[in-house]
Chain A
Amino acid sequence: MSQNLPSVCILFLLTTVVRAAAAEPSLTLDLQAAWDGLMRPGAASEISVRMLAGQGGQVELTLPDQQPPVRTTALLEANLPYTLWIPVHPPENGIVTVEARLDQGAAVRLETRLRPRTPQTLVAALLRTDAETPAERSEQSRTITLLRPAATSLPRTRAAYEVIDALVLDQDALAALDTAQRDSLRTWLQNCGRLIAVGTWSQWFATLEAEAGCGGRFIDRVDRAAQAYAKLAMTVRDLPSALPAETTLRAMLKQIHSSDPWLPLAGFFLLYLLALILLARDIRRPALLLLAPLSATLLSLLVWFNGTAGHRLSSWSEMESGDTTARFSALLHIDGNGRGTSTTTLPADLGLPTLLTANPAAEARYNRQPPMAVQIEVDNHLLSRHEFLLYGTSAVQYSLTLALSTDGPLLTNTGSVPTAPGLLGWQGSRYPVPSLQPGQHWSPPEQDTLWNPLSRAEQILRARTGTGTAAVLVPFLPPGIRGIKPQVEESGWLLIHTS
């Protein structure tokens, strides 16, 4: 027996090592950033995470450096590669880190570095299947920076298109796109993205063209790729009107009436001080005075320990008359009224909202569950506030058209239901628009009315309607973000302007 002891020990050790190795699932990661790793500072992008494991199981992915951190899960099958596309906000240093954990095992950590695009240059992505000629190469290098991503690496989220200024696409490259890529491309075009199409096109492209924002004027078609470069240089200098920044949306949000969370607190402390002063006037039992702060503390905990988070949202949408989609920017406030966690589910096509301000003590997380829904999880506290900026496009079933002729603007209800009352801005003047019945036309009267200096929406309308231009402002909430939460307080406007 004693002679066999070393062999038994070695066998035991070997078994232990093999068991330990088998218990630790192997997981390999591969990260690829969209647009060949190029990023526009401050804009969103997308990374693809390719995973492969020797044994199947649930993978939990975390992007810890994102603000707020992003979490998502995927179900892996053994030895079968699985790819997830995750929208990201690259930090200033461009490093995006991914941590993956298979079945609660050890974390695998990998990072990729995105490089910023050169300032003051225009970037276009070129997806064409035929080879470029040397002459084409020299032409493009003088005018524009070109990326040449593979069709399979085109983003699956609309927000990632913020990196580039234009896209050149031919029929074969289009055919290679999957459904998610096509959806994101369509949403980007609805958001006035610039596309130069090369060659002949399918019915699907005709649909894209019809749905495109900004009256479809940012979509061009050329017969040969060589013609695309000249088009690019021209089109990228024509910019769509900018949506209001967060400061404007914040001002609009302040106009939503909501209860001030500071008032109950001020009242509470006032009453507490009054009680102390009254008790101090006639102290017969000093020990009883100790009960006053204890009771007040207990009361404050009872009142503010649990509180439902308040949601407020202001949005601004814009479309050209005749468009079927509108671009929007929106600001979402999640206000804590006590300790607790709130979950807000956002529409899938928003990508990741930008977190503008947060209570450092109240953490927020993005929880992305496939296919693409984004859940914002917020740890709320009393008086905590998280502010998210959302950008997107939404279908608009609004049948009011605005035409501008030498006689002035003409509004027509082309739909089958009455339109909501609104405001017309024309050559710097303000005209209230009544509700129009189906088929009804309306022209502004001779007498205009005074602008409301307190309304930010009217201020924007006034700024947009200078000499020779007209626009209509109507109350509107993008269907996608309408009813994010049942208790949300909302305010939104739609600006319809002439192309």
Chain B
Amino acid sequence: MAIDPHQLNTGDTRTGLNLALLYSVPVLLWAAGVANEGAIPVAELALQCAGILFLVQALSVTLIAPWYAAQGSWQDGLVGLLIVLLVPLPLLSIIWLTGAVEASVLASGQSLVLGLATLLLVFSRSLNAVIPVALPRDIMIACVQVGAAAATWAFRHQWMALAGF
């Protein structure tokens, strides 16, 4: 699927970037604060940081993916989701460089979140097609967002273990 950058919705992209910054910056600031205190070893901090990052990333995706599906095109949704997922990538690379987490664990974690995002995007697009009326459709999308976020939180230990954490 070729993406024509001129046709993309910049509003959706900005929303994705804002969301990515909204969850990445607090994690970064928290990690910097703990590192400055020197209370826990760097490797342990990096491991915790990676775990938190994946959790908030997955929660963010559960909220934004159905919204993207309801708002714009496939391309807008995909680029927006990629921005949500890619913004903390430099932080993940630093976590990998500290040796706290294997690259395979980080890769499988990212793949899981990406898979979840794609699944929600496809499911929500299908809902769009099935329910043509706006109000019930929006209610269903909201239900999908809340349900997916709740399930992600409730089964966090299971899916994070699946990723190798």
Contact = CB atoms under 8 A, between A and B. Distances in A.
A13 interface: no
A279 B17 CA distance: 10
Contacts of B44: 360
Given A293-B86, A359-B99, A286 B10 contact: yes
Contact of B90 (A279, A296, A361, A385): A296
A384 interface: yes
Contact of B42 (A266, A284, A383): A383
Nearest to B85: A293
Nearest to B25: A273
A301 B96 CA distance: 10
Given A339-B99, A381-B98, A297 B41 contact: no
Interface in A156-210: none
Nearest to B86: A293
Given A266-B32, A360-B44, A286 B5 contact: yes
Contact of B17 (A262, A276, A284, A304): A276
Residue among A285, A297, A301 with the most chain B CB within 10 A?
A: A297
A287 interface: yes
A287 B32 contact: no
Interface in A282-296: 283-290, 293-294, 296
Contact of B97 (A276, A279, A289, A339): A339
B13 A289 contact: yes
Interface in B66-107: 79, 82-83, 86-94, 97-100
B90 A280 contact: no
Contact of A269 (B28, B42, B98): B28
A284 B6 CA distance: 8
A434 B89 CA distance: 58
Contacts of B112: none
A287 B8 contact: yes
B35 interface: yes
Nearest to B11: A283
A338 B99 CA distance: 9
B14 interface: yes
A476 interface: no
Interface residues of A, number: 41
Given A297-B93, A300-B94, A381-B97, A283 B13 contact: yes
A349 interface: no
Contacts of A277: 21
A362 to B, nearest CB: 5
A27 to B, nearest CB: 35
A304 B5 CA distance: 33
Contacts, number: 105
A382 B97 contact: yes
A490 interface: no
Q: Is the interface of A mostly helix, strand, loop or mixed?
A: helix
Nearest to A282: B10
Contacts of A287: 3, 5, 8, 79
Contacts of B100: 361, 381
A286 B97 contact: no
A323 interface: no
B163 interface: no
Given A290-B86, A384-B43, A300 B99 contact: no
Contact of A362 (B13, B43, B91): B43
B41 A286 contact: no
Contacts of B17: 276, 279-280, 283, 289
Given A286-B79, A287-B3, A338-B97, A359 B90 contact: no
A16 interface: no
A305 interface: yes
A285 B42 contact: no
B82 A360 contact: no
Contacts of B9: 286
Nearest to B97: A382
Contacts of B83: 286, 289-290
Contact of B21 (A276, A290, A297): A276
Contacts of A300: 90, 93-94, 97
A337 to B, nearest CB: 10
A318 interface: no
A338 B96 CA distance: 10
A272 B79 contact: no
Contacts of B91: 269
B90 A382 contact: no
Residue among B3, B88, B93 with the most chain A CB within 10 A?
A: B93
Contacts of B8: 285-287
Nearest to B9: A286
B98 to A, nearest CB: 5
B15 to A, nearest CB: 10
A269 B27 CA distance: 12
B34 to A, nearest CB: 12
B139 to A, nearest CB: 29
Given A283-B17, A382-B94, 15 more contacts: A262-B35, A286-B9, A286-B10, A287-B5, A288-B5, A289-B13, A290-B86, A293-B86, A339-B99, A359-B42, A359-B99, A361-B43, A362-B43, A382-B97, A383-B98
15 contacts: A266-B32, A269-B28, A276-B21, A283-B14, A287-B8, A294-B89, A297-B90, A297-B93, A299-B90, A338-B97, A359-B43, A361-B98, A381-B43, A381-B97, A385-B42
Interface of A: 262, 265-266, 268-269, 272-273, 276-277, 279-280, 283-290, 293-294, 296-297, 299-301, 304-305, 338-339, 357, 359-362, 379, 381-385
Q: Closest 9 interchain pairs by CB? A: A381-B99, A286-B13, A361-B99, A382-B97, A296-B90, A361-B43, A293-B86, A287-B5, A283-B10
